[in-house]
A and B are shown apart, each in its own frame.
Chain A
Amino acid sequence: MLTLSIWMGAIITLCCFSFLFKDNPFYRFAEHLFVGVSAGYYFSAISFHQVLKPNLLAKLFPASFGSGQEALAAPELWLIVPTILGILMLFRLSQELAWVSRFTVAFVMGVTTGLTIVLSTHQFLIPQIKKAIVPLFLKGQYIASFSNWVLVIGSIACLFYFFFSTEHRGPIYGTVSRVGIWYLMISFGAAFGATVMGRISLLIGRFQFLLQDWLKLI
């Protein structure tokens, strides 16, 4: 089985690398197989076995799906509510009855919007604003002061940029939003650099797999 897995991995790896030449049937084959397998994996192993089974089935039918002490617990019947809401979602498969899924969508939207308003303010908005409020004049610490200026100017300039209701023109608004764009470019660049590093390490891993596990050359 291990040998079969290594050979399959090597063939799929080579099929994927063939895209460097050009778009070709081998790459398309690997790409479609990957999408099919990952959709199947998320469907069965993640959605069913990791979410639905422990959170719904094991609680609704503990004797059949529960393990350990859980199997002896009483069924939590209130979980029928999300089950019904989930099943209503499947009505989208029919064109005439698709409107039935609106109750589920409305429930999910209500929950997420209600939570968003309070949680995102509490967990993201306030901490981010706090992060941008730093002392601008530090006695004797010129580099730290300069860095804090950079941070504050950057935060304000980027926020100016994100205000799309008005055209980014004029000596003040235009200039500040342009500075915001520069900051955004630096930030995207940093993210891009980190991504490329990650991809290169993945690439090294693939070559290691081909040369070490498959061909046993190193």
Chain B
Amino acid sequence: MGMWTIPETPPKDEKFSAEEIDSFIQTFAKEIVRRKMSVPAVIALEMAKPLSFLGHSACVVMGPLIEMVFDPKKIEKMTSILSERCHIERLLETIETMENSVEKAGG
């Protein structure tokens, strides 16, 4: 429990279990691939990696406003993903894997 330790794996104190986050990442990636927006999504996510914590904090601060428009559960999960850079990397890898399998299947 180091004061300045950077957690190697996502911290265990999150609101959602690893499975819940995983399934949300899968759904999110699937929607991006289905809409054929993998390329801009990969670029945006890769470039936004250093800013993920800013995004997370913005989601927390603007949460009460955003929740008026979008599903609060999804917003909370998105906030959780943004809280750690490793989640973003996982999302990127999932998009890449899904896109490659679609390409191979000839879709």
A and B: direct contact (Cβ < 8 Å)? yes
Q: Which residues of A contact B (CB under 8 A)?
A: 19, 23-25, 27-29, 31-32, 34-35, 39, 42, 89, 92, 105, 108-109, 164, 168, 181, 184-185, 188, 192
Complex-state Cα separation, A105 to B57, whole angstroms: 22
User: Which residues in A have their C-beta under 8 angstroms from that of B68?
Assistant: 105, 108-109
| Interface assignment of B11: CB less than 8 Å from any CB of chain A | no
In the complex, how many residues of chain B place their beta carbon closer than 8 angstroms to a beta carbon of chain A? 16
Q: Which residues of B contact A (CB under 8 A)?
A: 4, 6, 35-37, 39-40, 43, 50, 53-54, 57, 61, 64, 68, 85
Contact A25 B53 (CB under 8 A): no
A35 with B85, Cβ < 8 A, contacts A25-B4, A109-B68 known: no
Complex-state Cα separation, A109 to B68, whole angstroms: 7
Contact A185 B40 (CB under 8 A): yes
User: Which residues in A have their C-beta under 8 angstroms from that of B50?
Assistant: 19, 27
Q: Chain A nearest CB: distance from B15 CB in Å?
A: 14
Contact A185 B39 (CB under 8 A): yes
User: Which residues in A have their C-beta under 8 angstroms from that of B36?
Assistant: 168, 181
Known: A32-B53, A184-B37, A188-B40. 19 other contacts (CB 8 A): A19-B50, A23-B6, A23-B85, A24-B6, A25-B6, A27-B50, A28-B4, A29-B4, A31-B54, A39-B57, A39-B61, A105-B68, A108-B68, A109-B68, A168-B36, A181-B36, A185-B40, A192-B40, A192-B43
Complex-state Cα separation, A92 to B67, whole angstroms: 12
Complex-state Cα separation, A32 to B52, whole angstroms: 11
Q: For chains A and B in complex, what number of residue pairs have CB atoms within 8 angstroms?
A: 36
User: Which residues in A have their C-beta under 8 angstroms from that of B6?
Assistant: 23-25, 28
Complex-state Cα separation, A39 to B61, whole angstroms: 8
User: Which residues in B have their C-beta under 8 angstroms from that of A109?
Assistant: 68
User: Which residues in A have their C-beta under 8 angstroms from that of B37?
Assistant: 184
- With both beta carbons as reference points, the residue of chain B lying nearest to A42 in the complex is identified as B61
Complex-state Cα separation, A25 to B53, whole angstroms: 14
- With both beta carbons as reference points, the residue of chain A lying nearest to B86 in the complex is identified as A23
User: Which residues in A have their C-beta under 8 angstroms from that of B39?
Assistant: 185
- With both beta carbons as reference points, the residue of chain A lying nearest to B31 in the complex is identified as A164
Q: Chain A nearest CB: distance from B66 CB in Å?
A: 12
User: Which residues in A have their C-beta under 8 angstroms from that of B35?
Assistant: 164
User: Which residues in B have their C-beta under 8 angstroms from that of A188?
Assistant: 40, 43
Q: Chain B nearest CB: distance from A105 CB in Å?
A: 6
- With both beta carbons as reference points, the residue of chain A lying nearest to B36 in the complex is identified as A181
Complex-state Cα separation, A29 to B6, whole angstroms: 11
Would you list 10 pairs from A and B whose C-beta atoms are within 8 A, ordered by A residue? A23-B85, A24-B6, A27-B50, A35-B57, A108-B68, A168-B36, A185-B39, A185-B40, A188-B43, A192-B43
